Structures are given as structure tokens and as C-alpha cells.
Amino acid sequence: MADVKAAETAAPLDLLDERLRRGDGWRSVAGGLWRRVRSGDLGVLPIVLGLVVIWTVFQSLNSVFLSSANLVNLLMESASVGIIALGVVCVLLVGQIDLSVGSVSGLSAALTAVTFVSHGWPLPLSMAAALGAGALIGVVYAQMVTRLGVPSFVATLAGLLSFLGIQLWLLGDTGAINLPFESDLVHFAQLAFLPEWLSYVLVVVAAGWLFATGYGLARTRRAAGLSARSTSLLVARSAAVLLGLGFAVWYLNRARGVGWLFVSFVVLVLLLHYALTRTGWGRSVFAVGGNAEAARRAGINVRRVYTSVFVLCSTLAALGGMIAAARLAAANQATGAGDVNLNAIAAAVIGGTSLFGGRGSAFSALLGILVIQSISNGLTLLDLDSSFRFIITGLVLALAVTLDSVARRSRVAHGRAA
């Protein structure tokens, strides 16, 4: 008995149960990862592998693909739809859908251009107006879904058509409004790049911050008698981030470097990641997506969660539309039209956010849009027309969703959350 007692006091509070596999250090970490993958909890693994395959194929077909200049371009192009996809992630997390993100982004682009160029409003005011319109659209959707019980699929499908109409009406007969090149918005989206030194400073800050937060958490956990990641593991993780990001930044700096636009996108991803994983709001988003009735009974204001998510999605769509217009230096009838809508949703899903709610992450927008933009960019380089782009993006989406379904079945069989 005494021996058992001693062993128990030595083990962290959360690892006392004798049924748990216990172990320290690297082998247990690797073993744990392997068990997770085998049980169908694939995480980002399929996307990363997919990206490697896509990049290898395109590089072998056209050696320009992985050049610094092209990658800089690829990242800049991915920001606008990526930002839209961020909003889609939120809506998918609560088990709803927004099919109108494309039209909302187009409407926002048109609204910015009309007020800024045609009516001569100050730029911040135009942008605020467009973002406000986006937020308002989100409020309307949320009211329709929560108060009137309209399925979000239908509400946003109606929105898709209506807002496309308003966009065309705003743009008038010419169908396009050019944004002046010297405006801050266009400059930001096209020409603003980080100075080389600053990009490296940011890499070091990112790795240092990752280590500091990880170490802080581990220390608090150990002080509280819980198990914690070992310091060597934290150092290794930060070192990997430092080297990986450092190499990427060095490679991009051989061309124009890292765009402020892309950095802003990444910052948005990180902010949303924090909000989703570390705040009460994020917890309620996952809870509502997992079991809305349970969330309601736990005292969560489900209606407010839905509203926040729809507002966030439409506002991010508006922001994405503005940036798309700025990239083009024009808002026209094609802004937000065509495949923007589906690309944004596909990016979220390819990135690993479940269509059924309750599972996903802000990073899925980033990874998913990289996949989609790589395909689009690679095919453009090969001079293949958009028919191929649609076909291949569609196939990748089908593959991603199939993989997710299979992994989901495996997760259920292994007793992990579906």
C-alpha cells in the first residue's frame, strides 16, 4: 500500500489513473502522436502532405512555381479569399453556413469604391461604411436564422442573389470603378512590404513568444501538480518554428519579401485562433456547434453566439472584398463573383473545419487557402484555362472531404469526438 501511495504522489494530478499510458519525454510524445494519427485524428497532416504533393507536381511542370517571386505573389493573392475563409470557419464551427460571402465581398468592394471614388469620402470612412454594411448583413442573417428559423443555407442563398444585385446596381452602367493607385488601400495591398530586418525580427519574436507562453503554461501546470510539456520539447518546437519561418522569410526576401497584407492576414488568423481557443466566446462557439441544446441549457446565450458568428463572417467577407478590389485597383462586376464564394468555403473545409459544426480551427483558413491558391497559381503558370482550375479544385475538395469522412469514422471507432 505504501508503495502505491508513493508512486501516486510522484505522478502529476492528471496522470494518476492506472489505466493511463504514462511516459516521459520524446518517445511518449511521438507515440502519442502516432496513436492520434492512427485513430483518425489527423490534424493538419493531410493538408501539409497535400501541399507538398501539389508543390512538387507544379514545380516539376514549371520551374517558376517555387521561385521566390512567384511565392510572394501567391501569398499576396491568398490574403483576400483567406480572410473571407476565416469568417466561413466561424460559421461552420457553429454548424451553419454562409453561401453569400462572395456577394457580400463584392458588395463591400463596390460600396468602398463608390463612396471613396465617386463621392469623395475619406478612405477610412468608406472602409468603415463597407465593414458596417457587412456587419449589418450578418445581423440580418442572424435574425432570420435565430428568430424566424430560416435555415442559414436558404437565408444566405437569398442574400447571395440580393447582394449581387445591389453590387451591380451600385457599380452602374460602366460596371467598374478604378481605385486610384496612390490611395493607401491599393498601396497597402500591392506595394507595402516589410523591411527585411523587420521580417526577421518578427520571426524571432514569434518563436520567442511561442516558447515563452509554452514555458509559462508548463510552469503553472507543474506548480499546480499537473503534467506539463518538458522544456526540451518546448525548445525544440520553438527552434523548429524559428528555422522554418526564418527560411521561408529568407526565401521570400530574395524577391519582394513579405507583404504587409499577408502579415495582416496571419495576424487575423492568430487573433481568431486565440479567440476560439482561449476565450469564453470561443468555447461557446464550439459548444453550440457540438450540441446547441446542451449549450443553451448550460446558460449560453445561443442566439447571441449565432449572431456574433454571422456578423463576424459577413464583416470579414466585407474586408476580404475590399482587399480583393485593392489588389486589382478596381471594383468591378467580377469582384467577389465566380469562384470566390466556393473557394472561401472550400478553403475552410480543405483546411479541416467540419461542415457539421464543432470541429475546426482558424488555421484551416490559412492552410486551405494556400492549397487552393497554389492550385490556381500553378495552373495559371501552366497557361491552362479556368476550366482545369475548377475541375482540379473540385477534385481536391472532394478528396479532402472524403478523407475527413473516413477519418471521422475512424475517430468514432477509436472513441474520439466525431
Partner 1 sequence: MNDPVKEPAAAPGGRPILSLRGISKNFGAVAALTDVDLDVSPGEVVAVVGDNGAGKSTLVKVLAGVHRPDAGTLTFADREVTVASPADAHALGIATVFQDLALCENLNVIQNLFLGRELRRARLDEVTMEIRSWELLRQLSAKIPTVRVPVASLSGGQRQTVAIARTLLGDPRVIVLDEPTAALGVAQTAEVLNLIERLRERGLGVIMISHNMEDVRAVADRVVVLRLGRNNGVFAAEAPSEEIVAAMIGASDNVVSRRAGRARSVKGEA
Least CB distance from residue 410 to partner 1, whole Å? Answer: 13
Candidate ranges 136-144, 255-263, 279-287, 399-407; the one touching partner 1 (CB under 8 A): 279-287
Among 107, 266, 287, 312, indicate the residue that binds partner 1 (CB under 8 A). 287
Query: How far separated are the first and last CA of the chain, in Å rounded?
Result: 40
Residue 17 DSSP SS3: coil
CB of 339 to partner 1, least distance (A): 30
Strand, coil or helix: what is 181? Answer: coil
Here the cell at position 283 is: 468555447
| C-alpha–C-alpha distance, residues 212 and 206, integer Å | 10
> Which position among 229, 283, 303, 304 is part of the footprint of partner 1 (CB under 8 A)?
283
Whole-number Å distance between alpha carbons of 320 and 178? 17
Q: Which of 7, 14, 124, 125 binds partner 1 (CB under 8 A)?
A: 14
Q: Should residue 152 be labelled a site residue for partner 1 when binding is judged by CB under 8 A?
A: no
3-state SS track over 375-398: HHHHHHHCCCCHHHHHHHHHHHHH
Element at 178 (helix H, strand E): strand 176-178
Helices 68-93, 231-253: crossing angle, 10 deg rounding: 130
Shortest spacing between CB 371 and partner 1, in angstroms: 24
**What are the two backbone dihedrals, phi and then psi, of residue 176, each rounded to the nearest 5 degrees?**
-155, 145
The binder of partner 1 chosen from 106, 259, 358, 368 (CB under 8 A): 358
Residue 19 in the binding site for partner 1 (CB under 8 A)? yes
161 counts as binding partner 1 under rule CB under 8 A: no
Q: Based on CB atoms, which residue is closest to partner 1, 219 or 254?
A: 219
Residue from 173, 293, 383, 385 in contact with partner 1 (CB under 8 A): 293
Residue among 221 and 237 whose Cβ is closer to partner 1: 221
Distance from C-alpha of 367 to C-alpha of 383, rounded to nearest angstrom: 24
In single-letter form, the type of residue at position 172 comes to G
By CB under 8 A, residue 217 contacts partner 1: yes
Query: Which one of 7, 20, 235, 406 is in contact with partner 1 (CB under 8 A)?
Result: 20
Residues 294-323, one symbol each (x = binds partner 1 by CB under 8 A, - = not), give: xxxxxxx-----------------------
Near partner 1 by CB under 8 A: residue from 7, 8, 13, 124: 13
Question: Does the protein bind partner 1 through residue 286 (CB under 8 A)?
Answer: yes
Extract the C-alpha cell encoding 92.
Answer: 461552420
Taking CB under 8 A as the rule, does residue 416 contact partner 1? yes
**Is 221 among the residues that bind partner 1 (CB under 8 A)?**
yes
5 forms part of the interface with partner 1 (CB under 8 A): no
Question: Among the candidate windows 47-55, 73-81, 144-152, 289-297, which touches partner 1 by CB under 8 A?
Answer: 289-297
Q: Which is nearer to partner 1, 254 or 278 (CB)?
A: 278
Instruction: Restricting to residues 41-100, name those near partner 1 by CB under 8 A.
Output: none
Is 224 a binding residue for partner 1 by CB under 8 A? The answer is yes
Residue of 358, 349, 361 lying closest to 403 (CA atoms): 349
What sign does the dihedral 287-288-289-292 (CA atoms) show? positive
Pair 75, 259: CB distance under 8 Å? yes
Question: Which is nearest to 352 in space by CA: 48, 34, 27?
Answer: 48
Burial (CB count <10 Å: 0-12, 13-18, 19+), residue 120: exposed
CB 389 within 8 A of CB 127: no
Residue 213 binds partner 1 (CB under 8 A): no
Contact 160, 100 (CB under 8 A): yes
Q: Is residue 7 a contact point for partner 1 (CB under 8 A)?
A: no
Binding residues for partner 1 (CB under 8 A)? 13-15, 17, 19-20, 217, 220-221, 224-226, 278-281, 283-284, 286-287, 289-291, 293-300, 358-359, 412, 414-418
